[in-house]
């Protein structure tokens, strides 16, 4: 060769890897396979496992993403426990509890939606459960909107219009900064979740899911349940701190 | 009961029981918060929240019947949060422990 | 005449921009990160030009601040972090494990588009006047006082983070679920192990900086008091959250390079790696323990002494697995049949320079010493020894090693050796004086300095010029090789690994049939099965 390389030995060790002729049935497309099987996978089972593992890995990133906000919360609550309790009193526990229940119901309907796909239920049944999930998700967002509007009215949005009449104004402004950041980020995830559910519902309506292939429903379900879990922690941490001091 | 590709299909009754437990947990959390139990408030509320989260993860998210890898992946996320919380708070909680230093 | 391979399988821009082939996506990344490296290098050039003279006469203080900020942001987020994983990892991980592609090919392409979008945001920030906060975006300057384009740059970093996350996600799922029959974990090439460890960091760390820069933007716009003391926030909280990712990020930069070195050192010593399982576990240890040490960046900023001591001891501990690797590479080379092709020259450079960088890191882990050299050029020299002397040499070594496989062409070896020499000499001339001048007290991030430091700075700038030539040469001869290089055989180096048993360049589907693996990858001598634990 002309570029100054020494002649490399071309013979490797014998028989380490058999590249040709080793039992791969996927050459030449001579066999039938599920229309949804992507060709870099060997079979539907591998594809399904990879997809659910992928969504779980993504959810770990979401845990760490929200985790930064929980860290800020942890620090500031540690520094001003009374201030946070006082600020938390102004949140409406009833709305918060209703929202918690709404999301738990939506998780139930989501689990039922996945199950209906798993058991090859008719498309209408699948879409029904998915639609129910979306209705409860939208209800959650509606209640959130009501709460946010109330905060705007009562000058509880941090910034130039923030006005606090209690004992700990600085801690209160911090609390509400975290309240809006955390519930805002959560609401954004709910909105994205509704978008995902819309797509899944359309796919379900088109009869794409049955016991052989329901991975998108399962994966969407994992996402939805995760968003529910974040709220399960947000509710007591934001709404129930100063509750025993007497609701306003 | 399994679907045709071998994945576990949970009975509806199980889902309803989990749902019921989650409801009970929610009501319990609100009730407990009304009483001043000092530090125990936080412990109880976080425990209930963790229990609810665990129910959702195990049953609604099917980890109960999933592979060990799924367990490890899910657990690692929460564990890593603990690292962030613990080591950061180790700074804030030990400020001023050494006399004469502001930190 | 040419056989069908991934390069000629489909023509036209659309076939490249809409590809799902991991090899083509790797090439897309190769082109873009080279462009960003060039841009980051231009910012470095401005810094070194200014520092030729003690007076701040070339750039105003503000503009100089923008230069080192943009240099850092571009080099860290748009070159170093993606380089080896997105180019060499994307290209070779599926092949090394015997798969047809990564687990999620479309997500792979998406990660490249996200990277480009983040890059556009950052370039817009640069072109509309730049950012002057330092790549570290410390608050409250970044949230309250800076007049520069912080939000645009912060969003650029935020967006690019998702590119990393998706790459890491893809690698993890691929390594778990797509290995060929018989390819057990302990038969994997060490390159795959190091990328797996890197992917753990992508997943667990990147989201934290994502939320942190997002909060910086929120605080800047909405005046939420998270980090600004005037609004009741805590600036040290920013540093905790920032470094929780950014320290592991440096392991993102070095672990893949270590993986390259493990491969190269075996190929050119014609010897199995010494202590395969130790090297594999060390990769995991570095990735995991690397998450426990971030406080060593905050020793002098106000962190408590007790926390400082915890982080200090952990920072000493994290050096151990790196040292194990250095010992094992050395033991591999010892009594091997060593040949000094250009990839091996880069590997030697890596081992020496990484060792110096790593040792100086231990100095910094000692709080007492760090107090004196923090924010001086000692720190700058330390991290450049690791990131440039280590990571970039690893990248260049890997690029040379696998260039024949990727392109089907041989590059001119004499020029490659010359360039490697220039890089080594230029690098040391640039950065060794910085250890000295930093120890003598020259602070970093200032456009002027006391006149007694000028000699060191002149040497450093001279070195940077040599280094720049050393980096330009490969760009030239690699391009030349695409048109005029000798046609590469499947295995020009006589190396072991699945990638060497397929054609150069590989076919789109990598393997005509799925390989059945019966031995570990690195079998340079008919020894007993390695790595059995």
**Among B76, B84, B91, beta carbon nearest to C303:** B91
Interface contact flag, B87 C208, Cβ < 8 Å: no
* pLDDT digit string, tens, across residues C362-421: 999 999 999 999 999 999 999 999 999 999 999 999 999 999 999 999 999 999 999 999
* pLDDT digit string, tens, across residues C185-211: 999 999 999 999 999 999 999 999 999
Is C532 among the domain residues? no
**CA pair distance A228, B61, nearest whole angstrom:** 11
The CA–CA distances, whole Å, from A30 to A22, A24, A25, A33, A42 equal 17, 12, 9, 10, 14
Please name every residue paired with B8 in a beta bridge, in sequence order, or none if there are none.
B2
**CA pair distance C223, A177, nearest whole angstrom:** 9
Interface contact flag, B15 A112, Cβ < 8 Å: yes
CATH at C459:
1.20.210.10
User: Given CB atoms, is A162 within the 8 Å cutoff of chain C?
Assistant: no
For testing contact with chain B, the best of A61, A219, A232, A239 (most B CBs within 10 A): A232
The CA–CA distances, whole Å, from A186 to A230, B58, C159, C213, C443 equal 7, 22, 19, 17, 43
Is C257 among the domain residues? yes
**CA pair distance C4, C8, nearest whole angstrom:** 6
**CB A229, CB A236: distance < 8 Å:** no
H-run or E-run covering A17:
strand A17-18
Is C1 among the domain residues? no
For testing contact with chain A, the best of B28, B60, B88 (most A CBs within 10 A): B60
C516: which DSSP letter? E
User: Given CB atoms, is A64 within the 8 Å cutoff of chain C?
Assistant: yes
**CA pair distance B59, B77, nearest whole angstrom:** 18
Question: What is the DSSP track for A139-169?
Answer: HHHHHHHHHHHHHHHTT-SSSTT----SS-H
Q: What are phi and psi of C136, to 5 degrees?
A: -90, -5
**CB C284, CB C325: distance < 8 Å:** no
Is C510 among the domain residues? no
* pLDDT digit string, tens, across residues A24-42: 444 445 567 888 899 899 8
| Other residues' Cβ atoms within 10 Å of the Cβ of residue C43 | 21
Give the CA-trace dihedral at C322, C326, C328, C331, to 10 degrees. -170
Give this complex's ipTM: 0.93
Q: What is the pLDDT of residue A12?
A: 33
* Total CB pairs under 8 A between chain B and C: 48
Residue labelled with tokens 């606090």: A164
Q: What are phi and psi of C256, to 5 degrees?
A: -60, -35
User: Given CB atoms, is A125 within the 8 Å cutoff of chain B?
Assistant: no
More confident residue, B34 or A112: A112
**Among B84, B91, B102, beta carbon nearest to C307:** B91
Q: How many residues does chain B have?
A: 103
Half-sphere exposure of residue A194: CA atoms within 13 angstroms, side-chain side: 16
Interface contact flag, B101 C311, Cβ < 8 Å: no
**CA pair distance C420, C493, nearest whole angstrom:** 18
Question: In chain A, which residues have their Cβ closer than 8 Å to the Cβ of C403?
Answer: none
What is the mean pLDDT of the segment spanning C165-174? 98
Question: In chain C, which residues have their Cβ closer than 8 Å to the Cβ of B80?
Answer: 204, 291
Instruction: Give the long-range contacts of residues C426-429, CB within 8 A, separation 24 or more.
Output: C426/C463, C426/C464, C426/C465, C426/C466, C426/C467, C426/C468, C426/C469, C426/C470, C427/C349, C427/C353, C427/C388, C427/C389, C427/C463, C427/C467, C427/C470, C428/C353, C428/C463, C429/C459, C429/C460, C429/C462, C429/C463, C429/C466, C429/C467
Average model confidence (pLDDT) across chain C? 95
**CA pair distance C386, C57, nearest whole angstrom:** 31
More confident residue, A2 or A71: A71
Domain A58-245 sits in CATH at 1.20.120.80
**CA pair distance C241, C209, nearest whole angstrom:** 7
Q: Strands A17-18, C516-517: parallel, antiparallel or unpaired by DSSP? A: antiparallel
**CA pair distance C303, B90, nearest whole angstrom:** 10
| Other residues' Cβ atoms within 10 Å of the Cβ of residue C14 | 9
Band (pLDDT 50/70/90 cuts) for residue B96 is confident
Interface contact flag, B53 A233, Cβ < 8 Å: yes
**CA pair distance C202, C162, nearest whole angstrom:** 9
Q: What is the pLDDT of residue C144?
A: 87
Interface contact flag, A225 B35, Cβ < 8 Å: no
**CB C315, CB C297: distance < 8 Å:** no
Nearest to C241 by CA among C220, C215, C202: C215
| Other residues' Cβ atoms within 10 Å of the Cβ of residue B78 | 15
Band (pLDDT 50/70/90 cuts) for residue A22 is very low
**Among B69, B76, B97, beta carbon nearest to C304:** B97
| Other residues' Cβ atoms within 10 Å of the Cβ of residue A153 | 9
Report the alpha-carbon angle B82-B85-B86, nearest 5.
80
User: Given CB atoms, is A25 within the 8 Å cutoff of chain C?
Assistant: no
* pLDDT digit string, tens, across residues C408-464: 999 999 999 999 999 999 999 999 999 999 999 999 999 999 999 999 999 999 999
Residues of chain C whose C-beta is under 8 A from some C-beta in B?
Answer: 176, 204, 208, 236-237, 240, 244, 291-292, 294-295, 298, 302-307, 310-311
Q: Which of residues 86-145 of A touch C (CB under 8 A)?
A: none
Please name every residue paired with C517 in a beta bridge, in sequence order, or none if there are none.
A17
A210: which DSSP letter? B
Band (pLDDT 50/70/90 cuts) for residue A1 is very low
Distance between start and end Cα atoms, chain B:
60
The CA–CA distances, whole Å, from B69 to A46, C306, C336 equal 14, 36, 39
User: Given CB atoms, is C226 within the 8 Å cutoff of chain A?
Assistant: yes
H-run or E-run covering B76:
helix B68-93
Interface contact flag, A177 C241, Cβ < 8 Å: no
Question: In chain C, which residues have their Cβ closer than 8 Å to the Cβ of A156?
Answer: none
Number of domains in chain C: 1
Q: What are phi and psi of C284, to 5 degrees?
A: -65, -40
Is C518 among the domain residues? no
> Helix A44-79 and helix C150-177: axis angle, to 10°?
140
Q: Where along chain A do its domains lie? A: 58-245
- Judged against a pLDDT cut of 50, whether residue C324 lies above it is answered with yes
**CA pair distance C358, A131, nearest whole angstrom:** 57
What is the mean pLDDT of the segment spanning C38-64? 95
**Among B3, B34, B88, beta carbon nearest to A71:** B88
Residue numbers of the domain that contains C275: 20-501
* pLDDT digit string, tens, across residues C104-148: 999 999 999 999 999 999 999 999 999 999 999 999 999 988 888
Q: Where along chain B do its domains lie? A: 1-66, 67-103
- Judged against a pLDDT cut of 60, whether residue C528 lies above it is answered with no
Distance from CA of C353 to the nearest CA of A (A): 27
Question: In chain B, which residues have their Cβ closer than 8 Å to the Cβ of A104?
Answer: 19, 22-23, 26
**Among B69, B88, B102, beta carbon nearest to C240:** B88
**CB C301, CB C242: distance < 8 Å:** no
Buried b (16+ CB within 10 A) or exposed e, C483-502: eebbebbebbbbbbbbbbbb
Which chain C residue's Cα is nearest to B96? C304
């Amino acid at each position: 060769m002309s570029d100054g390389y020494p002649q490399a030995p071309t013979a490797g060790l014998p028989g380490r890897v058999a590249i040709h002729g080793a039992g791969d049935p996927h050459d030449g497309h001579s066999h039938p396979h599920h229309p949804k099987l992507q060709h870099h996978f060997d079979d539907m089972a591998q594809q399904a496992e990879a997809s659910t593992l992928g969504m779980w890995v993504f959810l770990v990133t979401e845990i760490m993403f929200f985790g930064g906000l929980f860290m800020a919360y942890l620090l500031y609550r540690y520094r001003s426990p009374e201030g946070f309790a006082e600020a938390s009193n102004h949140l409406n526990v009833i709305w918060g509890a209703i929202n918690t229940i709404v999301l738990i119901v939506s998780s139930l309907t989501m689990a039922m939606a996945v199950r209906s796909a798993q058991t090859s239920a008719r498309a209408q049944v699948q879409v029904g459960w998915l639609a129910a999930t979306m209705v409860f998700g939208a209800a959650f967002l509606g209640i959130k909107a009501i709460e946010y509007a109330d905060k705007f009215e009562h000058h509880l949005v941090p910034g130039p219009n923030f006005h606090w009449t209690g004992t700990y104004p600085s801690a209160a402004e911090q609390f509400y900064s975290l309240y809006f950041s955390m519930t805002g980020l959560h609401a954004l995830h709910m909105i994205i979740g509704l978008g995902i559910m819309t797509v899944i519902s359309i796919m379900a309506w088109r009869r794409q899911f049955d016991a052989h292939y329901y991975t998108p429903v399962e994966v969407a379900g994992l996402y939805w349940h995760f968003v529910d879990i974040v709220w399960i922690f947000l509710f007591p941490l934001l709404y129930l701190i100063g509750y025993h001091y007497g609701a306003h | 009961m399994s679907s045709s590709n071998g994945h576990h299909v949970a009975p509806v009754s199980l889902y309803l029981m989990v749902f019921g437990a989650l409801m009970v947990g929610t009501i319990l959390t609100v009730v407990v918060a009304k009483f001043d139990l000092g530090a125990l408030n936080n412990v109880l509320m976080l425990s209930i929240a963790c229990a609810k989260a665990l129910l959702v993860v195990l049953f609604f998210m099917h980890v109960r019947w999933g592979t060990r890898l799924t367990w490890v992946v899910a657990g690692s996320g929460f564990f890593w949060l603990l690292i962030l919380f613990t080591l950061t708070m180790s700074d804030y909680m030990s400020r001023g422990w050494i006399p004469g230093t502001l930190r | 005449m040419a056989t069908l391979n991934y390069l000629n399988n489909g023509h036209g821009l659309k076939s490249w921009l809409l590809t799902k082939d991991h090899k083509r996506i790797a090439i897309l990344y190769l082109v873009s990160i080279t462009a960003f490296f060039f841009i980051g290098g231009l910012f470095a050039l401005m810094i070194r030009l200014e520092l030729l003279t003690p007076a701040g006469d070339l750039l105003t203080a503000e503009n100089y601040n923008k230069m080192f900020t943009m240099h850092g942001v571009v080099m860290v987020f748009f070159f170093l972090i993606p380089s080896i994983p997105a180019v060499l990892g994307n290209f070779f991980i599926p092949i090394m494990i015997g798969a047809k592609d990564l687990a999620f090919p479309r997500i792979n392409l998406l990660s490249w588009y996200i990277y480009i979008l983040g890059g556009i945001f950052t370039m817009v920030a640069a072109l509309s006047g730049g950012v002057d906060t330092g790549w570290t975006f410390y608050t409250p300057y970044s949230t309250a006082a800076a007049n520069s384009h912080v939000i645009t740059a912060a969003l650029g970093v935020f967006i690019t983070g998702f590119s990393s996350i998706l790459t890491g996600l893809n690698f993890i799922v691929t390594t778990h679920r797509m290995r060929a029959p018989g390819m057990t974990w302990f038969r994997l090439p060490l390159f795959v192990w190091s990328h797996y460890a890197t992917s753990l960091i992508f997943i667990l760390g990147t989201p934290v900086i994502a939320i942190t820069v997002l909060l910086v933007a929120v605080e800047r716009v909405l005046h939420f008091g998270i980090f600004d003391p005037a609004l009741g926030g805590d600036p040290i909280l920013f540093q905790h959250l920032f470094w929780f990712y950014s320290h592991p990020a440096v392991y993102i930069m070095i672990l893949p390079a270590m993986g390259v070195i493990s491969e190269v050192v075996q190929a050119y010593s014609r010897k199995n790696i010494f202590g395969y399982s130790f090297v594999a576990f060390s990769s995991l240890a570095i990735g995991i323990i690397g998450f426990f040490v971030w406080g060593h960046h905050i020793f002098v900023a106000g962190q408590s002494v007790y926390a400082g001591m915890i982080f200090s001891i952990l920072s000493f501990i994290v050096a151990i697995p790196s040292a194990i690797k250095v010992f094992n590479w050395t033991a591999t080379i010892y009594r091997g049949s060593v040949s000094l092709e250009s990839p091996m020259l880069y590997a030697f450079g890596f081992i020496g320079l990484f060792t110096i960088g790593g040792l100086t890191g231990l100095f910094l882990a000692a709080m007492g010493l760090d107090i004196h050299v923090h924010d001086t050029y000692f720190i700058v020299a330390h991290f450049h020894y690791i990131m440039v002397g280590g990571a970039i040499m690893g990248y260049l070594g890997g690029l040379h090693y696998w260039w024949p496989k990727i392109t089907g062409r041989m590059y001119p070896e004499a020029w490659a050796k010359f360039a490697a020499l220039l890089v080594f000499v230029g690098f040391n001339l640039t950065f060794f004086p910085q250890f000295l001048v930093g120890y003598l007290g020259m602070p970093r991030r200032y456009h002027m300095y006391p006149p007694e430091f000028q000699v060191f700075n002149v040497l450093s700038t001279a070195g940077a010029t040599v280094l720049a030539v050393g980096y330009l040469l490969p760009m030239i001869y690699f391009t030349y090789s695409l048109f005029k290089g000798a046609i590469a055989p499947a295995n020009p180096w006589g190396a072991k690994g699945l990638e060497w048993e397929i054609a150069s360049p590989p076919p789109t589907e990598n393997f005509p049939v799925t390989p059945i693996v019966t031995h570990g990858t690195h079998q340079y001598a008919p020894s007993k099965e390695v790595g059995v634990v």
